[in-house]
Amino acid sequence: MSVRTLPLLFLNLGGEMLYILDQRLRAQNIPGDKARKVLNDIISTMFNRKFMEELFKPQELYSKKALRTVYDRLAHASIMRLNQASMDKLYDLMTMAFKYQVLLCPRPKDVLLVTFNHLDAIKGFIQDSPTILHQVDETFQQLTETYGGLSAGEFQLIRQTLLIFFQDLHIRVSIFLKDKVQNSNGRFVLPVSGPLPWGTKVPGLIRTFNNKGEEVRKAEFKHGGSYVAAPKEGSFELYGDRVLKLGTNMYSVNRPVETHMSGASENLAAQTQESIAPNPLAKEELNLLARLIGGMEIKKPSGPEPGFRLNLFTTDEEEEQAALTRPEELSYEVINIQAAQDQQTNEELARIMGEFEILDQPRRSASKGDDLLAMMDEL
C-alpha cells in the first residue's frame, strides 16, 4: 500500500509507549531523576537523526513482529528493563491506542494532527533538554515536508494501510472499556454524533438543479445521526491548537491499566494461519531492520548507574501469571528463521547487536556477538 506510512506508525506508537512508561514510572514510585533519565534516553534515541533518516525513506510497512523488535530495542535504550510479559502488555496497549486513534480520525489527514499531538506531549517530557527538543523540532519539520503537501487521496491510502496493519486486533483495554470507547467484544465504539470532519457538511440536505445549473428544489431528509459542523481546523504549524483530542495523553490520571487476553479475537484462526506460514522474505525484512536499528545509536550506559525493572502490572505475581497465560495466538514470537546463507548480513547484524550492552538480563543468554536472528527468536 502506501510507502509513506512507517514514520506515522512509528512516531505515534512511540508516543503512546512514552505515555504508558511515564504513567508506570510514577505508579511504581521510581525516583524523579531516574524516571526523567529513562524518558530522555528513549526520546533522544527515537529522534536520533540517523534513525529518522532511515525511517523516512519510502518503504513498505514492516510486519508486526519486526516492528515489535524496534520497540523492544527502544524500551531498553536506558537503564530500565522490562520482562517479556510487561513488554507484551506495553506493545498491546500501544497498538490498541493508535488503532483507536486512526479509526476515529474524522479526516484521513487528521492522522497528522494526532502525530503532532504526540510530538507536543513528547516535548513536554524533555523541556529541560534543549538538544533533544531541537531533534524533535527537526522531526516536526520533516513531517511537514513529507506530509504537508499530500492530497486527500494519498492520506486515504495511508489510512487504509494503517488499518490493514491493525486488522483483527481486538485486545480489550481496561481504560477504553471504562471510558466506553470500546465494547466488551473488543470493538471500538464509532459515535454517530459530534463534530464533523473539516470540510464535511451536516448530512440532511438534498439540492436539485436544472439544466441551467439553477437550484430548483431544496429538501431535507433524516440522516439518523446527531452531528455538528467542526468549529475550526486543527493547526499543522509547529505550535498551534490541534483541536483534535486524539493522540493526547489519556493516562494523565493515575489509573491502573489491565489488558484482557481471553476471547480477545474471533479471528484467531486467521491470525494463527498468517503467523505459521513461513515468510520467505524474512531475510530482506531483517536487512531493513538492521539498517533501522543500526541508526538508533544507543549509547552504552555510562558509569555504575544501576538499572531497574519496570513492571506494567500491579504486582510481580500478576506479571508472572500474565506470562504463563498469554494465548499462543497473541504471542509476538518470530518464527525460527533458518540461518541466513548471507554470512555478510549476519556479521553486520552481529556487529550492531554487539554494540548494545545488555545489563541484568538473567533470562536472556545474550552476550556480545549474538546475532539479531537469535535475539528475535527469543522474543
State the minimum distance, in angstroms, from the CB of residue 95 to another protein.
14
C-alpha cell at 106: 474524522
Least separation, in Å, of the C-beta of 102 and another protein? Answer: 9
- The span of 37-45, 135-143, 205-213, 366-374 binding another protein (CB under 8 A) equals 205-213
Site string for another protein, 57-96 (x = CB under 8 A): -xxxxxx---------------------------------
Contact between 205 and another protein (CB under 8 A)?
yes
Provide the minimum distance between the beta carbon of 80 and another protein in the complex, in angstroms, as a whole number.
31
Site for another protein in 212-241 (CB under 8 A): 213, 217, 219, 221-225, 227
Amino acid identity for residue 293 in this structure: I
SS3 label, residue 217: strand
263: contact with another protein by CB under 8 A: no
Select 209 or 336, whichever has its Cβ closest to another protein.
209
DSSP lists the bridge partners of residue 310 as 82
In the 8-state DSSP scheme, what is residue 56? Answer: T
Return the exposure string of 223-244: e unless at least 16 CB atoms fall within 10 Å of the residue's CB, then b.
eeeebeebeebbeeeeeeebbb
In the region spanning residues 266 to 285, those forming contacts with another protein, defined by CB under 8 A, are 266-267, 269-270, 281, 284-285
DSSP for 145-207?
HHHTT--HHHHHHHHHHHHHHTTT---EEHHHHHTTSB-TTSPBP--SEEEPPTT-PPS-EEE
Least CB distance to another protein at residue 257 (A) = 22
Question: By C-beta, is 204 or 327 nearer to another protein?
Answer: 204
The residues in 140-169 that bind another protein, with binding defined as CB under 8 A, are 151-154, 156-157, 159-160, 163-164, 167-168
Q: How many residues does the chain have?
A: 379
Query: How many Cβ atoms from other residues are within 10 Å of residue 157's Cβ?
Result: 17
Burial class (CB in 10 A: 0-12, 13-18, 19+), 338: exposed
Could you say whether residue 243 binds another protein (CB under 8 A)? Answer: no
Q: 53 is written with which cell numbers?
A: 533518516
Residue in 229, 225, 221 with CA at minimum distance from that of residue 197: 229
User: Cβ of residue 110: shortest distance to another protein, in angstroms?
Assistant: 11
For another protein, the binding residues (CB under 8 A) are 1-4, 58-63, 103, 106, 108, 151-154, 156-157, 159-160, 163-164, 167-168, 170, 183, 187-190, 192, 196-197, 199-211, 213, 217, 219, 221-225, 227, 266-267, 269-270, 281, 284-285, 288
